[in-house]
Amino acid sequence: MITKRWSVDNSVDKEDSYSQFSQAADLLKNNEVVAFPTETVYGLGGNAENDEAVRKIFEAKGRPSDNPLIIHIADKGQLDAFVTEIPQNAQALMDRFWPGPLTLIFNLKEGVLSHYATADLSTVAVRMPDHPVALALLNKTGLPIAAPSANRSGRPSPTTADHVWEDLNGRIAGLVDGGPTGVGVESTVVDCTGDVPVILRPGGITREQLEEAVGEIRVDPALADESQAPKSPGMKYRHYAPDAPLYLVEGTKEDIQHFVEDKKKEGLSVGVLTTSENLEFYRADFIYACGQRDKLETVASSLYEALRYFNTTDADIIFCEMFPGEGVGHAIMNRLMKAAGHRVISR
Ligand code: TXA
Ligand code: MG
């Protein structure tokens, strides 16, 4: 399949952008799949009402069919068609954070969405992305669009159009290039079907922000305990892992350098994932500065680029610094733990 690629300006009203959006929207309306930028990561969109379109998404990604997709909308009014009710907490969170990196779980109203999109669950995940290109495209189709991250299953999520191209060129009908995404980690997934909202996946909206908006928030215990089955089916899969094994190091930069030297003595090629503050300190074969430690948003924003970088090197093993688990650090540590297969070492 030839993948069409458009480069669009984020000022979506321009004449030339308009015709590109029309082409991308027409493909979506014809039940083809098209990747597009959101404020978190690139998504791979397809008509959520159509079985064939949704199956194409799973096929292009190589995604297990028991992992449901997030439905993207441009207008809150679209919800009524496929959710049974909008609980008070959900309404408050939507009012406060949509459009934005927050996905809410509702009880599903049967008969509208493809059952492949919801993986036959009785609930559905929905979000309204805060990106002019995504919103323009969603508006043009007028459809609920199912969109997982636009990477091959298991790979780090894509934060640039080139990442999508690397993974999916030839496997999808189109790619709308709107430049690098901003937040860099996926949306926070919050289950709003019970009395107290529960975080199923930490992401761009922090626990602290959610608490400020609606009071008590719980976190799915499975996030902290590997032995429990997560409520979000996708959280059980190995994900984000670079080709070389990644180890999180609990300790100082001197400890990390010590591990590096040990491995170099064994003849291995060693990578270090750090931040700009410590870039000059390490002596290793490949060093990547992922943002600035004192501005965790910058770490989130370049995290997947960093993980993909090591796949372009000959590193045999990668050591990585740890981050505080508060604020957006919660999402960063969640993704790094998965990328590391939960391998945490200390001296
Ligand atoms: O930021 C994002 O959320 C990006 C952009 C493209 O919008 N999308 C994204 O989609 O990360 P994906 O498919 O990579 O992750 C969706 C997550 C998975 O962990 C999935 O299991 C969970 O949402 N999910 C979907 N429907 C669910 C449901 N009904 N109940 C619980 N978890 C659900
Ligand atoms: Mg994903």
Q: What is the dihedral angle through the alpha carbons of 320, 326, 332, 336, rounded to the nearest 10 degrees? A: 50
Q: Is 234 in the pocket of ligand 1 (CB under 6 A)?
A: yes
Same fold, 4-224 and 246-345: no
pLDDT band at residue 9, thresholds of 50, 70 and 90?
confident
CB atoms within 10 A of CB 55: 17
Percent of the chain whose predicted confidence (pLDDT) is above 90? 90
pLDDT at 10 exceeding the cut of 80: no
19 annotated to a ligand binding site = no
pLDDT at 211 exceeding the cut of 90: yes
pLDDT band at residue 12, thresholds of 50, 70 and 90?
low
89 Cβ partners below 8 Å, 6+ apart? Answer: 192, 196, 197, 214
Peptide bond into 99 cis (omega under 30): yes
123 annotated to a ligand binding site = yes
Q: Reduce the DSSP state of residue 335 to 3 states and report it.
A: helix
Level-2 CATH architecture, domain 246-345: 3-Layer(aba) Sandwich (3.40)
Q: Is 138 in the pocket of ligand 1 (CB under 6 A)?
A: no
Give the Cα separation of 340 and 116 in Å (integer): 30
Q: What is the mean pLDDT of residues 128-153?
A: 97
Q: Is 67 in the pocket of ligand 1 (CB under 6 A)?
A: yes
Q: Where are the domains of the chain?
A: 4-224, 246-345
CATH topology of domain 4-224: DHBP synthase (3.90.870)
Note whether 260 and 284 are within 8 A (CB): yes
Atom 33 in ligand 1: residue holding the nearest Cα: 232
The alpha carbon of 26 and the centre of ligand 2 are apart by a number of angstroms equal to 25
The secondary structure element, H or E, covering residue 36 is strand 34-36
Give the Cα separation of 207 and 231 in Å (integer): 17
∠ at Cα 184 (9, 257), nearest 5°? 135
Q: Is 183 in the pocket of ligand 1 (CB under 6 A)?
A: no
